[in-house]
Every structure is written in structure tokens, then in C-alpha cells.
Structure 1
Amino acid sequence: AEAKKLETKESSEMVRDINKIVVFAGIAIIPVGLLLFGRSFFIAKDTFRTSVTSMVAAVVGMIPEGLYLLTSVALALSAARLAKKKVLLHDMKSVETLARTDVLCVDKTGTITTSRMFVTEDILALSDGAFLYGNVLLKENAQVKEEALEEEENLEDAELEEAFEEKLNQEKEVLLPKDNLSVKRKTLGKKRRSCKKKKSAKKRFSAKRSYFKKKKALSDDNSLNEEENEALVEAPSIKRVSTKEEKRLVESAETLLALYINALNDDNNTTRALKEKFKAPEGKHLKVVKSLAFSSKNKYSSIESVESTYKLGAPEVLLSGEHLKNCTPIIDYYAAKGKRVIVFTKDDEPVLLIVIENEIRKNAREIFNYLKKQGVMIRVISGDNPVTVSRVAALAGINHADSYVDARELKTGEAIEEAVDKYAVFGRVTPEQKREIINAIKKRGFKVAMTGDGVNDILAMKDADCSIAMGSGSDAAMQAAQVVLLDDDFSRMKNIIFEGRRNINNITRSATLFLVKNMFSLLLAIYSIVLGMNYPIKAEQVSLIAMFTIGTPAFLLALEPDSRRAQDHFLKRVLIKAMPAGLTDFFAVVALTIFAKTFTMSEDELSVAATFLLAIVGFIILANISAPLNKYRVLVITGMILGMLLTSYFLDFLFGIKTLSKQCYMLFTLFAIATEPCMRYLTMFGDYLEGKLEDRRDRYKKKQKWKCAAKEKE
């Protein structure tokens, strides 16, 4: 029921702040417009036409008429570009949220790894505490050897030479494991030259290369501690089938598991992997009395038949006492290799241990390194064994993968609050705990994104600031997510973050231009009401200024790529950036109106001079927010200046542009020169305020004392 709840609060900071701007402007224009009209018509006794014209000019300047349209167009274009890259947006504004993300919480299965699972081993548990390798291991070994041989045959000589030299240079003197792999450099050189001809040499080279890769992975992986590294090379004591009786026992256990899987009718990745490996004999089935499907909360499934009760799930949940003690070395061994172990029990007695492996995504390390460079912290939240999750996270290149915890130990909300300060990997997590972890991180002032592919992830995805689902995941997860990666390519995160940053940075720039006009118009309208004067600029002239200093350049600049890291506090930053130009416009026009009375300038001359003063300030702020300038931005600014001049000359009758007197030219030139230093000093003050805002944000996040975050910054 909770998963079906819809979030009614607007999640996009940028859209929330734009809504505030529009609401404020919509409320302010009503009293300001009425006061302007009343003062002009009833007090100054101007004509109805003059009063309405004065009011409309002020109201038009106070409305950010193109800001909503520009934002919608920019978001729609981003959605279209991402759709071409197989990314579906349920909410166009989600790209902005993801671009602001501080912490990305990922599930192991379906995110770090693909959704595909395969059984690598099955191990029979004997009544005396001993273990036997099952049939799957024997079949897998034969298949792996055959595939390795085919792979070597397909390699070109140059690739073999390059691979050999690279690995040989890394290990000058190597003592390989037994099985005829202890060789000297000279012997290796001879065998390398003949590896194309002799299959036996190819097999040895393949084994040698595999060893080098494994050794290099261990040496490069600083996330694993020494005990885990030892576990990778020291296997537990497991016997191989040596008698007909042992073979019969293994086959009987595998058949029982196959019957269980068929009777359960459960449909998930684990069940599909088991069905692929274990085939039940035709005509046989379990007589089911009662069944329980697998759930992330229980961590197991069960069937009660006429004869016995069977269960399949996490060993830590289904086993206890001596049984758990006997199985622990096997569980730890495979967990340290990044593999998952589940147990099949009969009447609470272990029958089979099944080892399942997930394929790590090929580009996982690349994308996690990219996110790290972008300042995004990664937290892994999974329902699997924490050691397994830790190992997989380490192989994927996630920082602090060795810092893990078993969520079954986190009994209270306070324990979870403390855990998010200490750990980067959470194992054996229930759906409810996933949500609590997400909310605990959000309480620390971080923007949190959550990826998932299953029903058990939905609660956490709903509470996250941004949710991402895989296309191969469950339909429920895809419906709940704001972003869906249709082709399961996790590297699309780069494209989403890039589009989000493009939107935030470009709309911040455009909103600054719109707010300059709104701020100036509001101040000038209040000034006109207080001093009892008509609004000095005509409505058509306001439209001319907006066309070439706001609307057109804002749209053109919004199309430009921009990958700079997005900053918080959209509204405050926009107001700070718009303030210098808005105040400069106000001071310049007010000064011009004061001097116009002294030099007896006409209202038409005043409005024309004020129009071009506002245009000059508009082009200055346009150049400032476009910094650093490039060819495209210079072309846009130059085009706008030429457009303003040509339109004023050829379409002067449409915009009320009149010829100025000599005195008016002199005043205009004087104030045009004065606008630059005024603008410069106000900009310096704005930069000071913006710096204070950034320092305050940094201090706030430092107060959270998130130890894991501090480690990553180091």
C-alpha cells in the first residue's frame, strides 16, 4: 500500500523556485498595476488611454512571460535526447534532481551486476558434517575449459604477444600454483612462441594469464583486507564424488531441488537460474500442502508437502547451531569471491548448498570512477550476504567496499542512524530498512538517488530524491522509478547527469536575465507610484528590450552543452546574479528622469533614452553570465546587438523610437558610461554574497559529520 502512494510535493528545486517567482510576480502585479492606474487616472487626471498604457508597461515588465516556456522546452529537449539513448523519463524534471545528487544508493543485483544469474556449484551436505561437490561443478569445469580453449584459438598472434609481455613484465619471477604451472621465464618464452600451434601450450598460457589477472586484481584492490584475500585462495574441505553411493546421493538431492523449484511456481532471477541447471524427471512432482513464496523480508521460500517441509533461502536465516557452524566456512569462502550461497533444507536439515554468481557489468568500474570524480558518494544496499556484496562492490571499484555491516544487527532506528555514518555497504537489508537508510542519509542534508530493479526496492525508491530502475527489472520498479534505463546500460548515468547539468546551468543563466527585467520593473513601478510620475517606458519598448537582451539569447544559450557541476539554492543564486543589473537599470533610469526635468526633455525622448540605457545594461549582464566566452556565445551576443540596432532603425515606428535632441544624447552618453562601474561594483558585492552562500552550505554539510563522506574527500 505504501509503495502505491504518490509524491505530491514538487521534487525539482529549480521548478519549485520558478513557481515561487511566477507566484510572487502574479500577486505583485495586481496591487502595483491598480495603484499605477489609480494615481495616473484619478490623481494626475491623465486620460484613460495614458493611464492604461503606463500601467501595462509596468505590468509587462514584471511578468517573466517566457521563463516557463523556456524551462519546459529545455526539459523536453533533454527528454528527447535521452530517449534516443534508451533512457525513459517518467518525470522530465528528474534529470535535474540526479544532477544535484550527493549520494547514489545502489542495489547489488541488477545495478552493479546484471540481472542474469547462473549456478556455479552445488554442494551436498552429508549427515556427518562432510560435504560433496555436486554434478554442476563437474559440468561447469568441462564447459569452462572448452570455452577457454576456443577463446585462445580466436586470439591473433599480436594479441597473444601483447598480453604475454604485459603480464610477464608485471611479474618477473612467478611461482604459479601446482598442476604443472611452475615455470621459468625462458620456458615461458618458448611456449609463448609455439602457443598458436600446440593446444597444450594454449591451455597453460590461458591458465597462466588467468592467474596473472587474478593476482593483479588482488594487488590493485585495496578495499579487501588480508583475511578476505586469504579466503580467496584457501578453499574449505569439500570432497569429490568417488563412489556410486555418493553419486546417487548427489543426484537424489539435485532431483529433490528440481521438484521443489517446479512446485513452488516462483518467478525471480534466482529461480530462473536454478531451473536452468536442475531439471526434474518427467512425471514426478511434490505433493504440496502449503507453500510460501520468497520475499525480501523473510529471505526464504518454503513448501510443506505430505512427507516433509522444504525451504530454500539464506543460510544465516534457515540454519542454526551445528549446521550453520559447519556451513560457515563454505559460505565465507564463496562470499569472499563475490558469490552468493543459498541453502536447500529438508525438515531444517541442510541438503544442498547452491553457489550462485552474478555477472558484474562490464562498465561498472568506469561509471563508478566517473561518479567519484563528480563528487557523488556510493552506498550499496542489498539483501544478500554483506561479505558477498562487499566483494562485488570492491570488484566494481566502489570506495570503502570493505566497510560493511549486516543489517540484521541494526534493530532500531538509532542503530541505522549510526550505521550510515560508518558503513558504505549494507547487507541482508529488508525493504523497510532500505527506506530507513535512505531517509537517514537525507536527514544529513544530502540529495539521495536510489537505483533498483525489484519490488523490494520500491519503498526506498519512493523516498529517494531521484529513483532509477533497470529495463530488465520488475514492472512495478519501472513504474515507481522516475528514470528507467531501458537497455540496462548503467553508463547512461553520464548522459543523464550531463543533461541535468545542462538544464540547471542554462536555465539559471536564463532566469537571471528574466529576473533583471522583473526586478527593475517592480522597483521603477514603486518609484513612479511614490513620486507621482508616469511610468517612463512604453510597453512596446519593454518588449523590444526583452526580445534582444532576454528572450532570444536565453533560448539560444539554453541549447548549449554545459557540464559544470550544478549548485544548490537556485532562487538565491539567481537573485544574487540578477541584482547588480536590476539595480543598475533602476539607478540609471531614475537618474535620467531627474535630469530630464532639469533639461526639459520630452516624455518620448526620455522613454527612448531609457530604452537604450536598459539595452546597454542588458548586454553587459548577458556578457557576464555567458563567461567564459566562446565563439558561439560571442556570436549570440553580437547578433543580439546588431538585431537591436537594426530593429530600432528600420522598425522605429513599431517601438516608439524617436530622434533624440543634442542634450538628450549628452545625458544618454553620460549615464551609459556610468552604468559600467556601477554594474561592476554591484557585481563584486553580488559575488561576495554568493561566496557567503557557498561557505554557509559547506559549513552546514560539515556539521553532519558523516565519517564516510570525510574519508572520500580525503
Structure 2
Amino acid sequence: MTTSTTQGLSDADVAQRVAEGKTNDVPTRAARSVPEIVRSNVFTRINAILGVLFVIVLATGSVINGAFGLLIIANSAIGIIQELRAKQTLDKLAIVGQAKPLVRRQSGTSALAPSEVVLDDVIELGPGDQIVVDGVVLEEVSLEVDESLLTGEADPIAKDAGDQVMSGSFVVAGSGAYRAAKVGREAYAAKLAEEASKFTLVKSELRNGINKILQFITYLLVPAGALIIYTQLFTTGADWRESVLRMVGALVPMVPEGLVLMTSIAFAVGVIRLGRRQCLVNELPAIEGLARVDVVCADKTGTLTENGMRVAELKPLTAADVGNVLAQLAADDPHPNASMAAIAEAYKMPPGWQASATAPFKSATKWSGTSYGDHGNWVIGAPDVLLDAESPAAEEAERIGAQGLRVLLLGSSDLPVDHPDAPGTVTPVALVVLEQRVRPDARDTLDYFAAQKVAVKVISGDNAVSVGAVAGSLGLDGETMDARHLPDRTDALADTLEHCTTFGRVRPDQKRAMVHALQSRGHTVAMTGDGVNDVLALKDADIGVAMGSGSSASRAVAQIVLLDNRFATLPYVVGEGRRVIGNIERVSNLFLTKTVYSVLLAVLVGVAGLSAKIFDTDPLPFPFQPIHVTIAAWFTIGIPAFILSLAPNKERAHSGFVRRVMTSALPSGLAVGLATFASYLLAYPGRGAGAAEQTQASTAALITLLISAIWVLAVVARPYQWWRVALVAVSALAYVVIFSLPPLRKLFLLDPSNLELSSMALGLGLLGAGVVEVIWWAQGAVLGERRRLWRERER
């Protein structure tokens, strides 16, 4: 035990190190800078493709056909603005939620941001504190450090003066101080983080699914694009400008220009919305991950109950001066936990005894103590750990704990507390009864999870009977078990977790083992906690959720931090995740359907062009110019997709994102593409047609396409609410306006004046819409999914 106090740096020393750049300049969180955000949104593969096509169109002199070039500006601007807003929200929250080490300087000891630490600073440590920079221990009192997140070493390591400590580790017991030896990117954890951040992210089925979809689209684009380029440039015999425009008109709709954008916007808006609820999301896909969770492991203290405690009752068991002992123990604890803080509040007049040995509280041992020479050796901790279970004091503690109260035993020991065999034989002196208030919103939160078929496991270090009483008062069903009787084998532990709901006396390593056991059965597990004993489980869970008032170590490893310490915020996070997943699935259906029918049209026209070259028949130019596909995307995909991506959505998240999107979009896209091609074939006048007749044929094909595509939107928008119906109706009405007003018809190169062709196109469009409708119902029957036209009222 080293207790000498080391002076810190002077203000002049600090200023000199800042001037020399010897600061801890590591970013507080993994976030892209503003230039990186701009570059990533401007220089994309999709923007590059559209940019090249835009330049080609401008070379023909047809400015109106280059209207799709506005997509480049819109995609980039919307993406940049939303990501900057999300970054601003996250950065503000990160400053509030970051760990602030206690730095000792000659001007005083104060909590500073990690970036304000300089080389040679003296940093004080207590239980739960994260070590923010590498250093050398200067002083310690029973200091133990957990380095498992860095080295994999499971057991805490005792640190003496002169020992090294590494950033990224955290204190599990004792206290001390260390001098900063390596700061900034030289620190061990910073080097690891810099490497890890390049490839470690929360698992995201949504992100992986969209990547698969884009790969699928790429495979379609290459052959279809090559075919249409060849046939339009070398087989139609048209003017080069006309051929180029038709070629671009085929290629532009194949590109899913808004799919990635809408996904990014949905995540960014989710971050902003949760930020308003004081919820810090360290990794964006964590929003999605929590929506897929089917088991929540919740710590009792600080999660279901409020952090603060009070001494409700003191039950002396001997004639000893209990008040003095408790007051002295509380006064000598430099970093009191919630229980000791409550005792210190109740007993404020210590007798002034001199401590000869101390033993800090550890989650693994469940007790702490101090030796006072002639005044005895005193321990305080869990009665069922310090006493025989059948002793009268232990039975009384069990009876009180069954009421949901926390009970601590104050006892005298026959051994000094720093003895290897401590605590030795403990003589019970008093029972200290502590009261915690259950959070008023805890029951509603648990009821929400129950309604959503999300299992809740209450895992605590407290007495199992006490934990079970609290869980029972909140309406949680299931058995309660003392974790000291849990099996070690993963499969046996998983079986136990299936039928037990509440666990007491859980060690930190058991919390992690329980997470692993649940994951072994295919569960997606969220772990909530606030203490240093929760860190390992938070790290290994699919989603770690830390309380803002918890230890800096728990906040550092969690993907989500509830800065307002409200467990009731979790349903809102789940809701945001469901909104993102459900809405992006809808949007993906729209974009992929467009790509499928665009590729199909290109292939069919290309094959027709090759046939014309081989058999010397009339060549078939592509039906649309770029302006046609641009206006087709406005109200069938672009604007509706943006609205749908941000809309409320409480549908449960299901796995199989890619399968569902593909099985929905592929047949719908084929139906739209075939109806459009048939309409164009019937309307196309042949090789000798003039420009007016060609425009009429293109217009007929566009009418069929728009009616079929609007019905795809109508299907994707289900189950209906009034605003969804309005969205589909307004989208359809917009095209009626475009086709009705002569100036717009002229601007967009439309000619619906041939009533025979327009009527035929209208009929084929309705036929295509009917096929899309039949496909939707048939898919529901095949996949076993209930189809609903209207959203059911919430009960």
C-alpha cells in the first residue's frame, strides 16, 4: 500500500507541454471529419456514373434531358446535411457523456476532458474509472486493474507503485494515482482503436443486405448496359444524338441512385431523434441492432431501481457502538459505492480512528473492510457471503431481503482485512437495511418488452431473494436463482437461462458467460448496466447499453449510452430501429423494382436490336429519353421514398431482409417491365416513323410504366393510413397534371394525343397494376405473411 501524495504539474508545465504538442489529442469518438463527410457524399460510385452520363447528354445539346444531373446535387447535399446534423448531435452528446479523469495539478485537482490531459500529468483513480492514457503507478491502495479488454486476461491484476498501466483498462478495486507516460496516438489503446476502427462495427443485416443488393444490381448492369449501348449506337441507324439520348435513357434508371442515400438519411435522422432523448449512439447500426434484440439482460441497481439509496433501518445484533464503526468505515472509503454513500449520509460523525489496513469492495468477493488496530477489524458486505446460511443473522437478512430491500452485514473479524485468509471468522454485529426506490417507469418499460415478445433477464450482484422481490413487484414472471449455483457448462447454463428470469449474486465473469450462453441459442442479446462489474458483459453482448451516470469504463465499451439514466428510453431506441429497418425495406422495394424493370427493358430492347441486325428487320430504339425516366422516378420513387424513409413505423423487425426485398421486387419489376415493353411494341410505328410518331410511342410506353409503377408504390405503402393513401393519390395526380398541361407536355417531350395508343397504354398499365396486386397477395400466401390493407388500431 502506497499512500504518499505526488504533486502534479504547474500551470507553466502544462502550457509548455501544450505548446510542444504533448497532449492527448485522440478524438473522443470514432467520427468522420467534415471534409471526409463531404468527400464521401460527393465522390460516390453512383455520382460518378451519373456524372459521366450527364456530360454525354450535354454533348448532344439537349439540356432538358440532363435534368437527372440534379440528382447528383440532391444526393450529395441531402447526404451531407443529414450526416453533419447527426455528427453535430453526436459530438454534443459525446462531450456530455465522455469519461472525465481526475487530474491532480498544483493549482488543484479537477475533472478534465481526456483531450486536456498532457504528458506527465498525475491522474487519480477509483473503482470503475477508465485509464485514459498509458502511465506508471505512483501511489496505490489495494489497486486492482482489469486489462481483459486489451490483453484477454480475465483476472484483475494488482498494481504496485512503479507498475505500468495501459489506456483502455479500468479499475475494479482500490484507488491510486498514476503519471501519464504516453498520450495521444502513442497510447496503447489509441493504437488498437485506430486499427480496430477500420474494420470493427456493430453487425448490421441492413447494411450487409444493401451491399448484397448493390452487388446483384452490378451483375445485371454490366451485360444489360453493354447490350443497350451496342444496339442503340450501332443498329438503329438513327442520328447519333438521338441514339446517345436513348442509350442514356436506358442506363440512368438502372442506377439505384437513392438507395444508399435513403439508408444514410434514415440512420442519421434516427441519431438526431434519439439525441433529443439524451441517448448517445456510438455506432449507427446499433439502432438497428437493438430493434432485432429478443433478450434484454438488465441490471437491477441503477436500471430497474434508482441509483440513490438511503439507510432504512439499522438492526444491532450486539452491544457494540455500531454508529461509530459505520461512520468511520464510510469516512475512510475514498471512492464510496452507492451503499457506502448512503451510510455516510446517515452516519456523519466518525470517531477518528487510524486505519492500519484496508480491503476495497470487489464484485467478486462482495465485501470490504478496514482494520483499526486496537479498535478491531471490521468488514461490511453481503450476509450470505460472510456468514453461514443457517445462522440466525443470515436468516434474518434473508427475511428482510425478501421484501425487496438490500441488506448489508457489519461484522468484526478475527483477522486483519489485508490477511490472505481474510475475512476469516466473522462475528455479526449489525444488519444495515438499505432502501432503493423502483423507477416509476420501469414497469411500463418491462410491459412494453413483454408485449413485443422480448424476454427480460434481471441479473444482479445483490441477494437473489431481494432481486426476485423487486422483479416480482414489477410483474416479471419466472424463477429466481442464486448465481452461485449456476452450472459452468455453456449448454447447461443456456438451459437454466431459458426458464429462470431473475438472478442474484452474479459475478462479473458470470454475466459475460450468461450473455455467451444466450447467444449460443441464437438469441440477439442486449445488456444494460452502469457498473464496472458490467463491462465485460456489455462488451460481449450484441448491443451494450450503459447508463450515463455509470462508470467511465461501462460507457466506453457500450454502443448506446442513456445519458439521462432512464431505462424507459430503450423502447424509443427500439422504435427508431424498427422505423429504420421497416422503412428502408419499403424504400429498397421501390428502388430495386425500378432497377429490375429498367434492366429488363434494356435487355428486351437490346435483344430486339440484335435480332433486327441478324434478320434485317426494323431496329427498335429504346423507348425513353433521359427526361422520361427522370420524371418517372420523381413521383413513383424519389419523393415517396424520401417520405416513407422518415415515416413512423412500429412493425416488428424480422431477419431475412435481402430475401424479402428480392422476392417482392423481382416479380413486380418483371411485371412492370413486360407491360411497358408490350405497350411500346404495340405503339412503335416502325423504321419509317417520324419524330412525332416516335414520341407518341414513347409516351404510350411511359403511360403504361407510370400506372404500373404507381401501383407498386401503392402496394409498398401498405398497410394504409390516411397519409399513405394521400401520398399515393398525390403522386398519381402529379402525373395527371403533367400530361394535362400543354407547356409541361412540350417541356418533357410528351404527346398523348393519339387516343388509340393512349387507351391501349392505359389498359396495359392497369393490367400490369393488376398483376402487381396478385403478386403481392400470392407472396403473402407463399411466405406465410399476413397481408393487411389498413393498419390496425393500437390497443
Fold match by TM threshold 0.5: yes
Are 2:334 and 1:269 aligned? no
8 A Cα contact 1:259 1:286, kept in partner: no
Distance 1:274 1:468 in 2: 29
Structure 2 counterpart of 1:279:
348
| Aligned with residue 472 of structure 2, among 394, 408, 412 | 394
Are 2:181 and 1:113 aligned? no
| Aligned with residue 295 of structure 1, among 346, 352, 362 | 362
CA offset digits 1:367-420 (Å, max 9, x no partner): 2122212222211111122111111101122122x4434244323333312211
- Aligned pairs for 1:209-608 (under 5 A) are 246=319, 249=320, 251=321, 253-281=322-350, 283-288=352-357, 291-303=358-370, 310-320=378-388, 325-345=391-411, 346=413, 347=415, 348=424, 349-350=426-427, 351-400=429-478, 402-531=479-608, 532=610, 534-596=621-683, 603-608=694-699
8 A Cα contact 2:527 2:541, kept in partner: yes
CA offset digits 1:530-578 (Å, max 9, x no partner): 4435543322211111111111012223343333333332222222332
Matched AA of 1:66? G
Structure 1 counterpart of 2:34:
none
Taking structure 1 as reference, are residues 35 and 435 closer, same or farther at Cα in structure 2, changes over 3 Å only? farther
CA offset digits 1:589-620 (Å, max 9, x no partner): 23234434587775433332222211101211
- Aligned pairs for 1:185-224 (under 5 A) are none
Q: Which has the higher contact order (CA 8 A, sep 6+)?
A: 1
Taking structure 1 as reference, are residues 656 and 598 closer, same or farther at Cα in structure 2, changes over 3 Å only? closer
Distance 1:481 1:76 in 2: 19
8 A Cα contact 1:104 1:448, kept in partner: yes
Matched AA of 1:334? I
Distance 2:290 2:363 in 1: 27
8 A Cα contact 1:390 1:425, kept in partner: yes
Are 2:703 and 1:612 aligned? yes
CA offset digits 1:502-523 (Å, max 9, x no partner): 3333222222211210121223
- Aligned pairs for 1:661-676 (under 5 A) are 661-676=754-769
Distance 2:648 2:561 in 1: 23
Distance 2:555 2:720 in 1: 41
Q: How many residues align?
A: 566
Find the residue that maps to 1:421 and give its secondary structure: helix
Distance 2:488 2:655 in 1: 35
| Aligned with residue 294 of structure 2, among 94, 102, 106 | 102
Find the residue that maps to 1:356 and give its secondary structure: strand
Distance 2:662 2:713 in 1: 15
Find the residue that maps to 1:434 and give its secondary structure: helix
Distance 1:25 1:656 in 2: 29
Structure 2 counterpart of 1:203:
none
Distance 1:421 1:656 in 2: 65
Q: Give percent identity, aligned residues only.
A: 34
Matched AA of 1:315? P
Matched AA of 1:109? T
Distance 2:697 2:372 in 1: 95
Distance 1:11 1:444 in 2: 17
CA offset digits 1:433-469 (Å, max 9, x no partner): 2122122222323332221111221222222232322
8 A Cα contact 1:102 1:448, kept in partner: yes
Taking structure 1 as reference, are residues 557 and 412 closer, same or farther at Cα in structure 2, changes over 3 Å only? closer
Matched AA of 1:96? E
Stretches of structure 1 that go unaligned for 5 or more consecutive residues are 125-130, 133-245, 695-714
Matched AA of 1:669? L
Taking structure 1 as reference, are residues 527 and 403 closer, same or farther at Cα in structure 2, changes over 3 Å only? farther
Q: TM-score, normalised by structure 1?
A: 0.72
Find the residue that maps to 1:564 and give its secondary structure: coil
CA offset digits 1:455-491 (Å, max 9, x no partner): 2212222222323222322222233323333222333
Find the residue that maps to 2:261 and give its secondary structure: helix
Q: CA deviation at 1:360?
A: 0.9
Distance 2:353 2:668 in 1: 82
Stretches of structure 2 that go unaligned for 5 or more consecutive residues are 1-146, 150-167, 169-192, 416-423, 611-619, 788-795
Matched AA of 2:343? L
Find the residue that maps to 2:528 and give its secondary structure: strand
Find the residue that maps to 1:353 and give its secondary structure: strand
| Higher percent of residues as helix | 1
Structure 1 counterpart of 2:179:
none
8 A Cα contact 2:578 2:650, kept in partner: yes
Q: CA deviation at 1:254?
A: 3.7
| Aligned with residue 62 of structure 1, among 254, 257, 261 | 254
8 A Cα contact 1:37 1:55, kept in partner: yes
- Aligned pairs for 1:132-143 (under 5 A) are 132=318
Q: CA deviation at 1:282?
A: 5.4
Q: CA deviation at 1:17?
A: 1.7
Q: TM-score, normalised by structure 2?
A: 0.65
Matched AA of 1:620? W
8 A Cα contact 1:316 1:324, kept in partner: no
